[in-house]
Structure 1
Amino acid sequence: MPECPPRRDSGVRPGVIDPFQFLPSGGVTGAEIRKREWSSTSLGLPGTWSPALKGTLAQMLACPTAMFLAWGPDLLCFFNDAYRPILGYRGDTALGRPFREVWASIWDEIGPLVATTLAGEGTTVTDMPLDLSRDGRPERGWWSFTYSPAFDEDGRIAGLFCVTAETTARVVGEAALRESEDHYRHTVELNPQVPWTCDPEGNVTSFSNRWLTLTGQGPREPYGSGWIKAVHPEDIPSTVTVFTACLASGDTVDVDYRLRMGSTGEYRWMRARAQPRRDGTGAIVSWYGVVEDIHDRKLAERDLRELNAHLERRIEEALAQRKLWADVFEITDALVCALDPEFRLLALNRAYADEFEAIYGIRPQVGDDLIGLLSHAPDQQAQARAVWSRALTDDAFTLVEEFGDPDRKRPYYELAFTPLRDADGRRIGAFQYATDVTQRLRDLEQLAKAEEALRQAQKMEAVGQLTGGVAHDFNNLLTIIRSSMDLLRKPDLPEERRRRYMDAVSDTVDRAAKLTGQLLAFARRQSLMPETFDVGARIASTADMLSSVTGARIRVVVEVPTATCHVFADPTQFDTALINMAVNARDAMDGEGTLTLRLECRRSLPEIRGHAGTRGPFVAVSVIDQGTGIPPATLPHIFEPFFTTKGIGKGTGLGLSQVIGFAKQSGGDVDVASVPGRETAFTLYLPQADAPAAEAPDTQTAASDGRALRILVVEDNLDVGRTCTQILEELGHSTVWARNGEEALSEIERDPDRFDAVFSDVVMPGMGGIAMAHRIRAMLPDLPIILTSGYSDVMAREGTHGFDLVRKPYSAAQVAEAFRAVPGRSETGPR
């Protein structure tokens, strides 16, 4: 218990027995104890109170430190005046009440402490958070207190005694300080500069983590003088000298040095600055500094110093003779002048004066106010003031400006500005070097127009080649179809000839479809249906077919590695490309020799025709012949559409166009290596893909052979629509024909369970087939949708969007095959 002052006289009249004579006189709480009726409490009348209770109360009331006493079996509450503010609104009723009732709101927190103290163990708590609610509302505060057992005169524990103090202000202040320090730390770490501190002796005591990022030093390495290890060895002596001198004098540290970058090992220029912090006596207690990157500025300053030194060497003698830079000014066609900070001409050459006079009608002289000379042309005056104001304050810069009367044809000048300094490095003006670039700009404009005209001419030439080639080949094909159809109309035509003419029409349609496919492949606009397949197996199967194409005198050799490799591409287009390259090889060998098909996996893509290569991996499929080779002059043209060296009627010139178009659209390329007179190798590069995951066999989907389907046909072309519905009805299906996407959606919405499948064209007016298919799939995810198209720009760019595709022109067999896997109504339930 703290030491308390001695008890004073109570002031009771002599001869009257005062039951509270043990209490010190004065004090609000002492007066309340005297007025309190104690007979109804467990303590009884004050005359019966134990000496231990009286003594403890007397000492507590006389102390200025906040205390309370809980005494007796009910732990009745006593306290001194210093404790009263802590009670708040409880102060009027707390005296003599059980301690638990007084502090019922925080009993969960202090109850265990009370129990521990009554068990004989004193407790000290520091900065305990409590909700005292002193004014009847929740109030968060922090308290430090000591609970001690209170003993009676027999040495038994009769209660507990507490000395307490509120620490809310300190706790809140420390939390605010921590928040401030955390805020400062985050601010420091986000600073592009590197803050640091050191003690009066120069030992680094803290630094931003950015120092470690820049230098690559370890977390403890920069402390003390370890930071010097990152400084360039040539800069250490000067840096240490400046640092040591400032530590001794207390002057601001300002030193430049090169610092090694941990990520590259290169050195960059840095500027370190620091100022001291002093105590009340003026003694330095620490240094606060920053390090900032000034490398780019250093390089710019170096370049500028070299330029200034060059100019100053040229003008030093002229300044002394009042003839500035005469040897430089008068031997150039450029317009040269210099201005001081007041816009007065320091110097100008004859070319500048002549051109200024020609443009503005005034001949300038040394000493003239250049801006004032333009007062009659406010727009030009404002323009000149803005440019020269920048030149007199900024570093060197260059711009192109137009001068003169805006209503007349005006010249363009390229203006180069640099600062002008005296021998001591002080800026005394700016220097301008102007070059007439009017003709150069006009030449560039004419060149751009010529290049555009050339591009247009090349475009029209390519269009002409395509138009002529397509017209020639299609007219040939149409001739066959037209003549065959005329012959088929003869009533007495034998059946054998009828079949021959019908086969001719069918074969010609296939050739026409192939021709359009080759054109689209060259333009990289065909609709690809890519899938992952084994290239080696595909080559092997195609090689079996090549014998009939190449002839008996050509031996086909297949070189395929044992390990499989896969690509993600359109297998049909791949076969076509392989056959086109093989046919070219056959023709180059004049029908005799060895044709090699070679496959290599995990190859890099080399640089081809000026295009940068890439590491891949790529699959390389080479077709190598022993033919006559390709002349160097012909080699750049072989992939052009309709370019061919074959005789008339022996080739369309679209085969290799299809190969390169397919390669490019599949993410690859084609390379050619040829030795005239010996051999040629075409190598097709395609991105290599991972092998597909093994799929479990589908035992649930059955073919729909013999099952009648109800099919919604969507086709805007009347002739094609009639033909399509006739084909489907001949196959045993029933059809509903919609002329566009909107009409098809109406049919679906009228009865969603009405159809087994949808067969739709892609290119239609209004809503296209792909957009319509997505709308139907959103409504009926399980309804099969098959698309058909001769060409679609969207599908050429984006693929089939996951829908099955039948290419036009199609046959009845192809349509039947497309619907073979569609489940009939008997499998999916009633419609």
Structure 2
Amino acid sequence: MGLASLEEARRYGIADFFEPTDRPTVLEEVLPAVRETGFWEGDLAFRNFATGAAIPVHYTVFPFRDAQGAVSGYGTVTRDLTERRRQESFRDALIAFGDRLQACRDTAEMAAAGAEIMARTLDLDRAGYGTVDAALEHIEVERDWTAPGVASLAGRHRFDDYGEVRAGLERGREVVIPDVTADPRTAGNPGPLLGIGVRALINVPVMEHGRIVAVFFLHDRNVRDWRPDKLAFVRDVAERTRAAIERTRAEASRRESEEQFRVFAQAMPNHVWAADAGGELYWFNEQVYAFSGTSPGDLDRMGWTAIVHPDDVEAAGRAWAASLASGAHYETEFRIRRADGVHRWFLVRAEPIRGPDGAVVRWIGTNTDMEDSKQATAQLERLNEGLEQQVEERTRDRDRMWRLSTDVMLVARFDATIVAVNPAWTALFGWGETELVGRSFMDLVHPDDAGSTAAAAGDLSAGSVIPRFENRYRHKDGSYRWLSWTAVPDEDFIHAVGRDVTSEKEAAQALARTEEALRQSQKMEAVGQLTGGLAHDFNNLLTGISGSLELLQTRMAQGRLTDLDRYINAAQGASKRAAALTHRLLAFSRRQTLDPKPTDVNALVHGMEELVRRTVGPSVHIEVVGAAGLWPALVDPPQLENALLNLCINARDAMPDGGRITIETANKWLDDRAARDRDLPPGQYLSLCVTDTGTGMTPDVIAKAFDPFFTTKPLGQGTGLGLSMIYGFARQSGGQVRIYSEVGQGTTMCIYLPRHYGDAEGAEGLPDLASAPRAEQGETVLIVDDEPSIRMLVTEVLEDLGYTAIEAADASSGLKVLQSDVRIDLLVTDVGLPGGMNGRQMADAGRVNRPGLKVLFITGYAENAAVGNGHLEPGMAVLTKPFVMEALASRIKELIAAP
């Protein structure tokens, strides 16, 4: 009502509560009727004093009377008609929309009519329809309906320019926003929407076959309350529009399809005809009339029987009636009279065309001339009569071949059951036919060949032909003979012929043994050269070490302390060269102890670039191509540096007149085929490749390049360990090395290393014993090593740094200390120890009573497997001999301080 109180309401007359247009009715019709009849019922417009709005109301008015029966007042029972009027307006709009759709000429008019009906019914400023792309990024508005003074949005628009106004559309949900300045989907940037006069909006998706193809949009300049009944009305109009558009498109597609069929049928060389659901023929293409000499209309309904041979009409009619009754495919043969009176045989087929409900609506048929085929069949039948005798003769020839062949012949089922064998089986293997037929041929196959034989049988069952396959079959005396098979399958059986190749196999094996003996002889010769060279190198190194120590002792006894650095440096240099030589030997054998770390290979190559340039000399140009975003590798950096330097030296030696070396890194994702070619598991790798422009390698040299002791250099200029060392290091690191080369063009050597999933470590600086960290009070280290000099040196270093050192010469002694109550902060142990227990076993036993025991393994031989092949438990580390004392001190402090 909009009045503040009852007192305020009493200041108005009864007519004031109605709209001005209804007040005369109230005063002149309603109230007199109530006074006279005591009742009035009807619809009037109620006036809201607060808003001035007219509200449709259904009134029931009755009088109040005093004691004398006179009317003293009026009472009413009211019912708000707003909702009913709204629903009536929606219903009327849908009826009007249906009428509009009947008059629309195309789908664009249908969409525009739907938009206009929605806008006018809901009193909106703008409504439209637009198609969307597959990615739901743009909407193309052809035209829209707008209220006076409102601009059209015809054209192409990006959804993202207007906020989240498409969220959920692809799943068939409407986007409903009462106020773009308050809704979280658009409130962040409502300017673009407000700029086109949109304060409230609805976007309704139009779906076809589960995919959004278009959008209805409704806009208003004011905040709107999108009530559920309004949304239901919008959905109803959108769905009716979509259905009408789809029907129109389907009808257009049908007409287009029928026209295409007509053109196609007229263009076909065959006869084409059509019949209705009841089987009455009503259409023929031009080829039928041209062939039969008839005119359109002559063959309709049952007229077609006039051109069918009289002897074939009845059978053709029966077959046609059966297909009409069952709805099944129609196929028969009969003769059709040509315009010159000659009859020719035709293959006649027809297929039913069914409607949406599955019922047959028409038939499409074809007649295919098969006269020539019929004649050929008759001629073939005549030929077959003569062929039977030829087949009998050939069968006799085949049987003679079956009996007389020295090759074994076999017929078997696909489950390996033998069906037939020729007599050669008895001659070659001693088995009789009755002993073989019904038995599985797999029972006779050598156990080592069973898997490959079963696989070959599987290929045959799949239809493959096996042109050559070798396996061993058991003789009745228990021996085995080699057979080379040729096998072909048919629908039911395997047919196979096997030739005895035992003699050839034995000869080939003898030749292989001879070649292997020769290769071993060549290897032993190379080993002799290698050991002689190693003895010579080690004698030189030992002479440098022992001589330097002897002179050091003499000068100290003489009190001449000024020149001691010369002898110390000489001894240290010789020891480092000896260590490098042993590492090369261990790398070649793939038994070295590696210290893999997450490594940035690009940074490693960059750090080696200057050294490589100095090593290869000025006549060789170095080019480095580092891949951007190169993955890290888990690898021993010094060993990788050594491998890179060796590859560059080999490349330099292949270019005696100079050339170019390219060092390149790359990420590689190896699929099954690429990984199989490189003898690696599939996955992610990085490659380090060195390419030269040198002499290249022949295939024979490539095949032997990684063999131990193989070298193409003159005697005395190479041990043949370089590439073997690189190969061993790469394989031990989980990677591979491959050679790609052409003679005269150059060579590429590639190291493949597995990708490390993590960050690479930064470069470590060289430790300095003078600045090595000092021990904390009471920190104790147990040293276990069977070499007294090593125990002495390690103990001296530890005591100088403030540690308490305990020594043990073997694993049993060390274990007794570990099982005592003595404080042990760290165990430093060699891996190879005497007494039947190695260092790893001792450390594991010690951790039974000391679970948190920290362990540093020091190793100088092929003990990587004993250490754990890189699989160390937390609190364990490895240091490779020989090592500098500064590195030992830093590693000890690092392990003790670690949590």
TM norm structure 1:
0.46
Higher RCO (Cα < 8 Å, 6 or more apart): 1
TM norm structure 2:
0.43
